[in-house]
Amino acid sequence: MNLLVPPSQRETAPDPIALARRWLDQYGTAALATVVSTWGSAPVPVGGQLVVGPDDRFEGSVSGGCVEGDVIVEAAAAMADQGTRLLAFGVSEETAWRAGLPCGGEIKVLLEPLTLADDAADLDRILAARRDRRLITVVTNTTTGARRLYEPGKDTLREVAADVGVGECRLIDTPHGSVFVQSMAPPVRVIIAGATNIGQVLAGLARQIGYDVVVVDPRAGFLTEERFADIAGHVAWPGASLAALGLDVRTAVVALTHASHIDDEALSAALRSQCLYIGALGSRTTHAKRLERLKAAGFTDADLARIAAPVGLNIGAKGPAEIAVSILAQIIQVARGAQ
């Protein structure tokens, strides 16, 4: 198996937690701002984060632009006195409109000052769980800043955290004060079987929204660094690649080669797993023949019903770019439970 671009060498969008950890090594201090409560149509959801370092350097967002300045000022004070803060901002409709938000309302932001001695180990554990695609839940007291981490199979999950679903975040009142429970599920991973033109666009779009992306294709002439710069790629048959990668409940598999022997191998591996989403490019006639082959291979009607084909939302898409958009939209729909 030829690993075209190892994940560790890919350029990715700055991650607030990873950047906070790096700044702790560089400067010894940082502050992490997390959205813990907001109005329903906010552009940054609960769990969105902004990291602030010395000299007002920052990365990320908590509101789309209208309160970041105030958060950065408060972060400097928090780093100076090492005090956790729960900030509440009332955003008028006029201010919200200027900032590009759809409406006014209130947003609450938990601001945590971080130091190398006190917080590096927790950040390392969160980043390790993310890297290994493990669920980790962070429970933080919004008054004291006391933080506990929980992983299935490793820690006894407190009752207050047990009620929060995978990937959910919630502000909860307890007898010991308000706590923010953040269930950090691994990011959705999109495995694209087929280094095609559609695959090129889909890989870039999926990366833009924060998904992990891997492209698999045994044809080295298709899967090149020039065509898939900074995207992890396996020049190998899908069966071997998908077995090596592992298919979990946060993984989407999309078959795009139009070569039945390659697509069928990717789909067979996906159908034997509990992966989040399975999609396959092709017309209804092509898909009917595909179903016959897969049924002959032992898959049931219930198994085959998991395949989204023709792939993507029915938006009348034409051409590689629009088809890629329709596929990504369908993956988002499934990942968000919006079906």
Banded pLDDT at 165 (limits 50, 70, 90)? confident
210-231 core/surface letters (b: 16 or more CB in 10 A; e: else): ebbbbbbbbeeebbeeebbeeb
The continuous run of DSSP H or E covering 34 comes out as: strand 29-37
Phi-psi region of 105 (alpha: psi -120 to 50; beta: other; left: phi over 0): left
Statement to judge: residues 139 and 32 lie in one domain: yes
Average the pLDDT over 60-79 and give the result.
88
Statement to judge: residues 161 and 228 lie in one domain: no
Residue 5 within a domain: no
Poorest-confidence range of 143-147, 165-169, 171-175, 236-240?
A: 165-169
SS3 150: strand
More confident residue, 266 or 338: 266
Statement to judge: residues 36 and 151 lie in one domain: yes
Q: What is the pLDDT of residue 284?
A: 93
108-126 residue pLDDT tens: 999 999 999 999 999 999 9
Residue for token pair 């601001």: 111
Residue 263 belongs to domain with CATH number:
3.40.50.720
Q: Do residues 104 and 92 lie in contact, with contact meaning Cβ atoms separated by under 8 Å?
A: yes
Identify which of 259, 3, 211 has the alpha carbon closest to the alpha carbon of residue 203: 211
More confident residue, 168 or 317: 317
Statement to judge: residues 166 and 201 lie in one domain: no
Average the pLDDT over 85-114 and give the result.
72
Q: Do residues 77 and 54 lie in contact, with contact meaning Cβ atoms separated by under 8 Å?
A: no
73-83 residue pLDDT tens: 999 999 999 99
- 272 pLDDT more than 60: yes
Q: How far apart are CA 251 and CA 236, in angstroms?
A: 19
Statement to judge: residues 171 and 204 lie in one domain: no
Which residues, 6 or more positions from 146, have their beta carbon under 8 angstroms from its beta carbon?
140
Q: In what order do the strands lie in the sheet with 49-52?
A: 58-60, 49-52, 29-37, 105-115, 85-91
Q: How far apart are CA 204 and CA 93, in angstroms?
A: 34
Residue 129: which domain range?
Answer: 14-184
Among the candidates 184, 212, 247, a domain finishes at 184
What's the distance, Cα to Cα, between the start and end of the chain in Å? 36
Statement to judge: residues 122 and 249 lie in one domain: no
Instruction: Round the average pLDDT of the chain to a whole number and report it.
Output: 89
Q: What is the pLDDT of residue 161?
A: 76
Q: What is the pLDDT of residue 99?
A: 47
282-330 residue pLDDT tens: 999 999 999 999 999 999 999 999 999 999 999 999 999 999 999 999 9
DSSP 258: -
228-238 residue pLDDT tens: 998 999 999 99
Q: What size, in residues, is the chain?
A: 339
Bridge partners (DSSP) of residue 35 are 109
Statement to judge: residues 134 and 214 lie in one domain: no
Q: Do residues 60 and 50 lie in contact, with contact meaning Cβ atoms separated by under 8 Å?
A: yes
Percent of the chain with pLDDT strictly greater than 70: 90
Q: Do residues 140 and 180 lie in contact, with contact meaning Cβ atoms separated by under 8 Å?
A: yes
Q: Do residues 124 and 21 lie in contact, with contact meaning Cβ atoms separated by under 8 Å?
A: yes
Among the candidates 184, 207, 241, a domain finishes at 184
- 150 pLDDT more than 80: yes
Statement to judge: residues 154 and 196 lie in one domain: no
pTM for this prediction = 0.76
169-192 residue pLDDT tens: 999 998 888 999 999 988 899 999
Omega prior to 310 cis, within 30 of 0 = yes
Residue 302 within a domain: yes
Average the pLDDT over 29-56 and give the result.
86
Q: How many domains does the chain contain in total?
A: 2
